[in-house]
C-alpha cells in the first residue's frame, strides 16, 4: 500500500455536511463553522429547556384546574369529610387509580395548541441534532470539540431549567 492511498483527516477544501458550496478553505470559514456548530448545540439545549418549562406550566395549570373542580365537588358533597385525615388513604387511592389505568393511555386530553407546540419544538431539536451528528461524522476534531463543548456549556447554563431527577 503506497502513501497516497492512506486515509487522511485533512480538512482543507472539505465541505460542511450538506452545504457543498461552502468549502472550508480558510481559517476564517473554519472558525465560522466552529462558532455555528457551538451555537446550534446551545440552541438545541435551549429548545429542550423551553419545552420542559412549557410542559411544566401546562401540568401546573392542569393540576390547578383539576383542584378547582375537585374542591367544588367536595363542597357539594354532603356524605362526610371532604379530605381524609391520614395521607395513607389518599396514597392508596392514587395507587388504585394508577393500577386501573390501561397500558397505552395519555396523561392528558388532546390539546391541539399544546401538541402542535410540542411537536414543533421536538422537530426543531431533531433537525439540530441531525445537523450536529452530520458535522461530527466529518471526523473533524475541531467540530467534535465544538459540539461537545456546546453540550457542556448548555447543560451548565440551562440544565437547572429542565427536567430534574427530583420531579
What pLDDT digit, counting tens, does each position of 65-83 carry? 766 555 555 455 555 555 5
CA pair distance 53, 163, nearest whole angstrom: 9
Report pLDDT for 85. Answer: 53
Please provide the average confidence, as pLDDT, over all residues in the chain: 77
Find the mean pLDDT for residues 101-111. 75
Work out the angle at residue 125's Cα, subtended by the Cα atoms of residues 123 and 130, and round it to the nearest 5 degrees: 95
Confidence of residue 84 (pLDDT cuts 50, 70, 90): low
Report pLDDT for 11. Answer: 52
Q: Is the pTM of this model over 0.75?
A: no
Decide if 140 contacts 11 (C-beta within 8 A): yes
Report pLDDT for 108. Answer: 75
pLDDT at 99 over 70: no
Decide if 122 contacts 128 (C-beta within 8 A): no
pLDDT at 41 over 80: yes
pLDDT at 146 over 70: yes
* CA distances from residue 84 to 16, 23, 89 in whole angstroms, order as listed: 63, 70, 7
Place of cell 461524522: 137
Q: Which run of H or of E encompasses 67?
A: helix 27-75
Amino acid at each position: 500500500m503506497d502513501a497516497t492511498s492512506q486515509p487522511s483527516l485533512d480538512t482543507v477544501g472539505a465541505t460542511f455536511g450538506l452545504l457543498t458550496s461552502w468549502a472550508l478553505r480558510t481559517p476564517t470559514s473554519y472558525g465560522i463553522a466552529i462558532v455555528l456548530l457551538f451555537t446550534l448545540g446551545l440552541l438545541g439545549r435551549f429548545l429542550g429547556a423551553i419545552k420542559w418549562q412549557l410542559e411544566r406550566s401546562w401540568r401546573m395549570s392542569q393540576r390547578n384546574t383539576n383542584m378547582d373542580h375537585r374542591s367544588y365537588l367536595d363542597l357539594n358533597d354532603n356524605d362526610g369529610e371532604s379530605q381524609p385525615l391520614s395521607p395513607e388513604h389518599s396514597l392508596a387511592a392514587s395507587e388504585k387509580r394508577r393500577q386501573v389505568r390501561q397500558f397505552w393511555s395519555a396523561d392528558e386530553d388532546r390539546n391541539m395548541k399544546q401538541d402542535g407546540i410540542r411537536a414543533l419544538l421536538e422537530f426543531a431539536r431533531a433537525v439540530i441534532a441531525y445537523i450536529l451528528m452530520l458535522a461530527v461524522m466529518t471526523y473533524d476534531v475541531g467540530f467534535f470539540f465544538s459540539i461537545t463543548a456546546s453540550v457542556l456549556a448548555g447543560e451548565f447554563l440551562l440544565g437547572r431549567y429542565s427536567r430534574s431527577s427530583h420531579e
